Amino acid sequence: IHIELDGDQTLREAHAIGAGLRRKIIETYPQCDVIVHKDVARET
């Protein structure tokens, strides 16, 4: 999964968000393999 995060977040915060998302997906779909790719969100 590809997610876009606020570029002002720390690496620790970004990692925690990605890990939490991965955990929730695996809880819901235990048979899946999940890789979370993080990018800085584009400014609008």
**What per-residue confidence (pLDDT) applies to 28?**
98
Judging by beta carbons within 10 Å of its beta carbon (0-12, 13-18, 19+), is residue 37 exposed, middle or buried? exposed
At residue 43, the pLDDT reads 79
pLDDT of residue 42: 87
3-state secondary structure of 16: helix
Kindly report, residue by residue over 1-44, the tens digit of the pLDDT. Answer: 999 999 999 999 999 999 999 999 999 999 999 999 999 998 76
